[in-house]
Structure 1
């Protein structure tokens, strides 16, 4: 027998809310119960597009509904904490668009509250549910790439300059969430360095470079930019066996795996610096192949995972804890920009300036 659909309301009818509402309304796991927004006219227009579901301008009124199982929050980051904690206090499961909160401390508090209440808190890290990223996760997990040596990510375009966040908090959450999803054990850098630039005098960084020193010894670099006239969405993961390139804007060949690289013999690696400089370096020039990818909408897979996590009483693939790991790097990036120095991340997620 099919399971009874879960009841969900979308809070926020702006940019992302309509995408969530459409997917909740289309899937068999969910019944879209309401649209909530202070702008009830905007909420009404959205509600009509998905079957004339009820509309309310009051979050308090919404959360008093005993038949409501969950809420999806698609509002500005500064409101995520207040809305999520109110929903959790009302016994509702919560999905929050990126970033999970506007500070690490608030994100950690949200996770602790959800765990104490036995509720699912899920981060809407949509890219993690794309066929390409799911395949990357599989290739890394099965060892196809070997040991990860470096990661380079570029996310640039002519974008909207945000009044309340810099380019790191606006764009980098996508890349950080992807790395957290595909790396075994999640994203756990030991040090973070961030360099931002404000060439327009907008009062916030519009161009940024983020460098993460991972606990494996690998280095990850993320370039984000609101000012580029060309749009690039590319991720390169270099491994000891193979290198993977994801070009999100190339629908014909999103993923390419290169059996090419540089090999240094074990003997050379174990010698001293002087001998190593004279050791033989070999270049591997093998085949290139493109994995076949299924076709499905990432958001559809994401809302399906939200329902599965609730029914199975388990953390979602992109859990609140994953959202906190992303927040820890974003907050470290802010500290690094202010101090002009790298920031060390402790296992407890506390931050301190690196010496």
Structure 2
């Protein structure tokens, strides 16, 4: 039995992704209410979870004194207002990524959580992936050496959205991982992209982050690609590591590769000594990564925070940091649109 069985939860938005959250919170907590606007979804949920009250009224969820925590898997434009309403009603809140669609809204959500003394958590799922945690430990321990740069690819053909572009739909995953691994916020964010299928809704986006430490990171997201990729590469001075979430067996591969300094031959008088590097091509190792489902780990983290009062890893401030990056990238995309529109024919 789950150690969080006494936490009384409500699931709001039980469709495509909400169904996965619903499954986990029904398993881990005391699911009291399931809320969705679709009659078909409500009928399905009622049959699957007969112990939960099923409703289409969010107001009834907020008014229910039995509900301690609300889980929101609603469209992104609704996140801020619905989360603030729940926090002001005295509920703890888990909200799917992105936390909000603007820094102002994300700050409003964090402020509401602080003022109410409630937990606010965002669903940065991959921060809880055992593979990402393993890479974090490699960086912290110094096994990778000095981290130089990282790049990620999150690509597929479809699923298109009309209420957000590929940046806001896909990049929160990779940006949240990069900020977690780098343990710093970027000082510069640039982005470019293109809307091929829907006007002003970019299908493909490239984002570059430059950090105060000198590290850089690149994020490539797309709904319009022949490959289904979920890959992150981190390059260090000692080793390099690749996280391939599409590989069912070898999620992480560590490459003992690099360029090592070697002592140069004495330079002729009056000339600087050359800096020489010798390539190193060592073993490729695939460490064993725990098989726990990241979503179950994430949901348990939220429930643990509700019980203990200790902030989760992906708390509201973590969500705010990611939204800051996304907003700056969106501003760069908008500027690129204007520049493109103003280009001579």
Whether 1:173 aligns to 2:169 is: no
Gaps (5+ residues) in structure 2? 266-270, 338-345
Whether 1:12 aligns to 2:9 is: no
Decide which moves more: 2-11 or 296-305: 2-11
Counterpart for residue 103 of structure 1: 102
Counterpart for residue 352 of structure 1: none
Counterpart for residue 303 of structure 1: 299
Say how many residue pairs are matched: 331
Counterpart for residue 294 of structure 1: 290
Residues 40 and 55, structure 1, Cα contact 8 Å, conserved in 2: no
SS in 1 for 2:193: strand
Matches within 5 A, 1:254-265: 254-264=251-261
Counterpart for residue 228 of structure 2: 231
Counterpart for residue 76 of structure 2: 77
Residues 126 and 177, structure 2, Cα contact 8 Å, conserved in 1: yes
SS in 2 for 1:300: helix
Judged with a 3 Å threshold, the aligned counterparts in structure 2 of structure 1 residues 281 and 314 are, in CA distance, closer, same or farther, namely same
Q: Give the Cα–Cα distance (whole angstroms) in 1 for the partners of residues 111 and 61 of structure 2.
A: 23
Judged with a 3 Å threshold, the aligned counterparts in structure 2 of structure 1 residues 179 and 88 are, in CA distance, closer, same or farther, namely same
Shift of residue 52 of structure 1?
Answer: 4.5
Judged with a 3 Å threshold, the aligned counterparts in structure 2 of structure 1 residues 282 and 308 are, in CA distance, closer, same or farther, namely same
Relative to the length of structure 2, the TM-score reads: 0.91
Counterpart for residue 346 of structure 1: none
Q: Give the Cα–Cα distance (whole angstroms) in 2 for the partners of residues 254 and 9 of structure 1.
A: 33
Shift of residue 148 of structure 1?
Answer: 1.1
Residues 120 and 315, structure 2, Cα contact 8 Å, conserved in 1: yes
Shift of residue 4 of structure 1?
Answer: 5.6
Relative to the length of structure 1, the TM-score reads: 0.88
Shift of residue 38 of structure 1?
Answer: 2.1
In the TM superposition, what whole-angstrom CA distance separates every residue of 1:300-320 from its partner, at most 9, and x where no partner exists? 111111111122211111111
SS in 2 for 1:137: helix
Shift of residue 174 of structure 1?
Answer: 0.8
Q: Give the Cα–Cα distance (whole angstroms) in 2 for the partners of residues 102 and 315 of structure 1.
A: 22
Q: Give the Cα–Cα distance (whole angstroms) in 2 for the partners of residues 336 and 74 of structure 1.
A: 28
Counterpart for residue 137 of structure 2: 138
Q: Give the Cα–Cα distance (whole angstroms) in 2 for the partners of residues 74 and 62 of structure 1.
A: 14
